[in-house]
């Protein structure tokens, strides 16, 4: 295992120390492993809280800031945050206008966010939740009943974060989150496994001439293992299942995320193959992001997310955002 | 070789096609392999032109846009752009106020930018050049007489780009570029080799328990090969040679760049080790960037750049920038 780490057990705590050093505008609650904005949530503003296992950076801590999340709970690598962590984040973020929990559909995440929401409700904090389950690759998976939650989460956090910043109330924020959730589909491909620091060896074996089509962001099996193909063919393997799953014609926001060890030159090349396929199918890519946004430690691979987006969603997408992972307009 | 590519010979052209698809606000001259801003250079504004071999993305094409470069020439992977390309970029970028060439110190780059500058001068375009040579690891290297040019290039392009945007003339832009150049020092460490698509195999062999300290961004040998160490020890191996080389006390801008296959969780952890070492040595890290900014294809590793920066440089660093790779304030 070749990594910039010290003891595997300290990876999360030490990485958060680096986040705090690099981003003095954020506040890292090291005891609870929660990343917060530097300033408390403005009175009357709905707070957005997300989180999940670590190893997917910049998601979620890198999306805390003006126009996006108010707090993110970091679980250990590929491990759900605890209800205590989520409760601490929810308490810290709430300004009285309520909190939206943005949860990816993994069994532990869903259970722990539910438990935290109940505890917070018991304290008088109004909490609503949206569970993202956008990965079309498989119906159920290693840690999932139903589809896994992946890249649509990033797009949702941006769009809904902008609405909350503008003063939308909790009902409106929830309704918007559900619309974005319903409009997003994703599909990933791995060329290599990732290596969890505590395990010290690759999560799965993938021969030199094979790739995993439909891989999960923890290395969960996908649809099939295939012989390594050209970028041109891989683009089809990513686009077609998304288009087959739902009507994606019309205006869309598209995210092509590297999984952690894929260089940008390859991601752009792959996007150059994906863009014409989407155009042919009637998808109007109004906004796109190409880079590392939702990763899987040091996995070589990529995941494609297509979110149908009306003019209002595009407007909210374009609204100012100031976070370590996404920043524009301010 | 596991990469998102088609034929190795087409990597650059096809990647540029993806850049154009992802960034409609830029203009990619596919014939000359030059990335340009969508709008011509404003009359009276000095143009900044950089470039070099591909494989270091987002540098340089990802730094084209308001507040940074006007044009970037992309050579083949790890291969200098030709004088013709550089001349085409220089012509296209010049608005009559002259052009600054920002060159990294590699023999082919230096020669080809010099030749292009002469040709441009013959056409009546005033061209000045700055050659970045900031890598403290080794004095000469595989393709270099003198030090290699690495991360200071990114910081220079940002600061000098802001000055040009504000209307500084060519003499002022050149003088500022020389100051930034003189103030920057870098040091890199590789945990793995990279693989050049046309070669199809790793550039160098690095056993599972070894790392290359002082590696170049093309996999050139560094100072020494050592047994894989902890992030705590690696931070010292990066910081100490920089501090030993020049007085770095006082205000600084610090860049910790991944080399292409290093996940953000590790970069932050490493930055968490670097920041206290710099503070102890009297370096006041006023601004920092942690992420992939100057890469080496799919190499796992990182490079640290420390640039002493006075208040004027910090102000220019903070000025608005709108590029694919760096974006803030607008």
Tell me the pairing of strands A210-213 and A224-227.
antiparallel
Cβ B330–A329 below 8 Å, yes or no? Answer: yes
Q: Provide CATH 3.30.1180.20 ranges for chain A.
A: 184-328
Nearest to B19 among A22, A232, A268 (CB): A268
Q: Is the CB of residue A16 less than 8 Å away from at least one CB of chain B?
A: yes
Better pLDDT: A36 or A138: A36
B-chain CB neighbours of A288 within 8 Å are 21-22
Rg (CA), chain A: 19
CA pair distance A232, B230, nearest whole angstrom: 40
CA pair distance A37, A51, nearest whole angstrom: 14
In the CATH hierarchy, which fold is given to the domain comprising B15-181? Answer: Rossmann fold (3.40.50)
pTM of the model as a whole:
0.98
Contacts 24+ apart (CB under 8 A), B224-230: B228/A2, B228/B191, B230/A5, B230/A6
B296 to chain A, minimum CA–CA distance in Å? Answer: 8
Query: Would you say residue A58 has pLDDT above 90?
Result: yes
| pLDDT tier at B96, thresholds 50, 70, 90 | very high
User: pLDDT tens digits for B248-298?
Assistant: 889 999 999 999 999 999 999 999 999 999 999 999 999 999 999 999 999
Distance, C-alpha A327 to centroid of its chain: 16
ipTM score of the complex?
Answer: 0.98
**Taking Cα atoms as reference points, which of B4, B57, B76, B62 lies closest to residue B28?**
B62
DSSP string covering A236-302: HHHHHHHHHHS---EEEEEEEEE-BS--HHHHHHHHHHHHHHHHHTTEEEEEEEEE-SS--TTB-EE
Mean pLDDT of A169-193: 98
How high is the pLDDT of residue B77?
Answer: 98
Q: Provide CATH 3.40.50.10440 ranges for chain B.
A: 15-181
- Cis peptide bond prior to B45, omega within 30° of 0: no
How high is the pLDDT of residue A139?
Answer: 87
Is-contact B242 B306, C-beta < 8 A? yes
Is-contact A65 B273, C-beta < 8 A? no
User: pLDDT tens digits for A105-159?
Assistant: 999 999 999 999 999 999 999 999 999 999 999 988 888 889 999 999 999 999 9
Q: Which of B4, B212, B229, B326 to mutate to test the interface with A (most CBs of A within 10 A)?
A: B4
Q: Which of A2, A59, A228, A252 to mutate to test the interface with B (most CBs of B within 10 A)?
A: A2
Sequence-separated (6 or more) residues with CB below 8 Å from residue A216: A135, A137, A138, A141, A142, A144, A148, A150, A188, A222
Name the β-bridge partners of B301.
Answer: B190
User: pLDDT tens digits for A198-208?
Assistant: 999 999 999 99
Task: Kindly state the tokens that stand for B51.
Answer: 């470039």
Query: Would you say residue B330 has pLDDT above 90?
Result: no
Q: Is the CB of residue B53 less than 8 Å away from at least one CB of chain A?
A: no
Top CATH class of B184-328 equals alpha beta
What distances in angstroms separate CA A303 from CA A154, A291, A306, B174, B200, one per listed residue?
12, 10, 10, 42, 24
Cβ A265–B11 below 8 Å, yes or no? Answer: yes
B-chain CB neighbours of A260 within 8 Å are 261, 263-264
């Amino acid at each position: 295992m070749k990594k910039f780490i010290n003891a595997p057990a300290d990876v999360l705590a030490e990485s958060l120390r680096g986040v705090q050093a690099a981003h003095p505008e954020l506040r890292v609650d090291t005891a609870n492993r929660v990343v917060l904005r530097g300033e408390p949530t403005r009175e009357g503003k709905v707070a957005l809280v997300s989180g999940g296992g670590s190893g997917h950076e910049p998601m979620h801590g890198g999306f805390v800031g003006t126009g996006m999340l108010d707090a993110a709970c970091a679980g250990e690598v590929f491990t759900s945050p605890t209800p205590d962590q989520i409760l601490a984040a929810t308490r810290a973020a709430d300004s009285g206008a309520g909190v939206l929990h943005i949860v990816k559909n993994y069994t532990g995440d869903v259970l722990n966010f539910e438990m935290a929401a109940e505890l917070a409700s018991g304290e008088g904090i109004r909490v609503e939740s949206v569970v993202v389950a956008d990965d079309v690759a498989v119906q159920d998976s290693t840690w999932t009943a139903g589809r896994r939650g992946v890249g649509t989460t990033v797009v949702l956090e941006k769009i809904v974060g902008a609405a909350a910043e503008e003063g939308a109330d909790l009902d409106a924020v929830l309704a918007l989150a559900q619309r974005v959730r319903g409009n997003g589909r994703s599909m990933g491909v791995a060329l290599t496994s990732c290596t969890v620091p505590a395990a010290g060896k690759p999560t799965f074996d993938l021969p030199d001439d094979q790739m995993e089509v439909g891989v999960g962001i923890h290395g969960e099996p996908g649809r099939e293992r295939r012989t390594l193909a050209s970028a041109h063919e891989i683009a089809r393997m990513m686009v077609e299942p998304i288009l087959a799953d739902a009507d994606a014609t019309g205006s869309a926001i598209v995210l092509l995320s590297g999984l952690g060890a894929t260089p940008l030159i390859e991601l752009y090349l792959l996007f150059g193959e994906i863009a014409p396929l989407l155009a042919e199918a009637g998808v109007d890519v109004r906004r796109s992001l190409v880079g590392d946004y939702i990763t899987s430690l040091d996995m070589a691979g990529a995941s494609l997310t297509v979110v149908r987006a009306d003019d209002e969603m595009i407007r909210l997408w374009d609204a100012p955002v100031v976070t370590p992972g996404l920043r524009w307009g301010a």
